[in-house]
Amino acid sequence: MPSNLLARLAPPLFVVIWATGFIVARTVAPYAEPLTFLLVRYVLAILVLALLVMATRAPWPINARDWRNSFVAGILLHGFYLGGVFWAVKQGLPAGITALVAGLQPLVTGLLAGSLLGEHVTPRRWVGIGLGFFGAALVVLPKLGGGVPPLALGISVLAMLSITFGTIWQKRTGGALDMRVNAIIQYMGAAAVTVPMVLLSEQGHMELTLPLLGALAWAVLGLSIGAIGLLLFLIRQGAVVGVATLLYLVPPVAALMAFAIFGETLSLVQMAGMACAALGVAVASRG
| pLDDT tens per residue across span 89-102 | 777 776 666 777 77
Opening angle at CA 150, ends 77 and 106, nearest 5: 35
Query: How confident is the model at residue 240, as a pLDDT?
Result: 63
Band of residue 237 on the pLDDT scale cut at 50, 70, 90: confident
Neighbouring residues of 121: CB distance < 8 A, sequence distance ≥ 6: 110, 113, 114, 129, 241, 287
Identify the DSSP state of 123: H
- Alpha-carbon span 85 to 191, nearest angstrom: 16
- Alpha-carbon span 167 to 119, nearest angstrom: 13
- Alpha-carbon span 157 to 171, nearest angstrom: 21
Residue 60 · residue 188 · CB < 8 Å: no
- Alpha-carbon span 200 to 36, nearest angstrom: 11
- Closest by CA position to 32, among listed 76, 86, 77: 86
Query: How confident is the model at residue 10, as a pLDDT?
Result: 83
Band of residue 1 on the pLDDT scale cut at 50, 70, 90: low
pLDDT surpassing 60 at residue 287 = no
Opening angle at CA 14, ends 13 and 17, nearest 5: 80
- Element (DSSP H or E) covering residue 88: helix 81-90
Residue 131 · residue 280 · CB < 8 Å: yes
Buried b (16+ CB within 10 A) or exposed e, 60-81: ebeeeebbebbbbbbbbbbbbb
Query: How confident is the model at residue 190, as a pLDDT?
Result: 96
Neighbouring residues of 130: CB distance < 8 A, sequence distance ≥ 6: 280
Q: Which residue has the higher pLDDT, 213 or 6?
A: 213
Mean pLDDT of 1-5: 60
Residue 231 · residue 36 · CB < 8 Å: no
Band of residue 22 on the pLDDT scale cut at 50, 70, 90: confident
- Alpha-carbon span 94 to 238, nearest angstrom: 33
Query: How confident is the model at residue 119, as a pLDDT?
Result: 65
- Element (DSSP H or E) covering residue 206: none
